Amino acid sequence: MYDIKDIKPGNPYACKFKVKTMLDQLGRPAPNLSDTPLKGQGMYEGFGVLLQRDTEQELVKIQDEKSKKEFVVPFSDIWDVDDVEWTNPLAD
């Protein structure tokens, strides 16, 4: 595991994160392709690949593995940062 401030640019990393976002009744980030009604804003926890890191503002952009949505998350709301071993890399 790594501290987000110690990761090397250009290397692939993933982490667990939490973010306040609009959720459906099943607790999934909205909007999505289902007919499930919205529940409202709430905390979503996920696991995703780090796409960008802003060390000045202490923010990261993460693509959630489950929903495929991108979230901007403060350093304080991510944990378990580790290397990624690609079997199927993200599509551009």
Please, what's the b/e burial string for 67-81 (b: 16 or more CB within 10 A of its CB; e: otherwise)? bebebebebebbeeb
Q: Which portions of the chain are predicted below pLDDT 50?
A: none
pLDDT at 6 (0 to 100): 94
As assigned by CATH, the class of the 4-83 domain is mainly beta
How far apart, in whole angstroms, are the C-alpha atoms of residue 83 and residue 12? Answer: 6
pLDDT at 87 (0 to 100): 82
Give the predicted TM-score (pTM) of the model: 0.87
Residue from 14, 9, 7, 21 nearest 79 by CA: 14
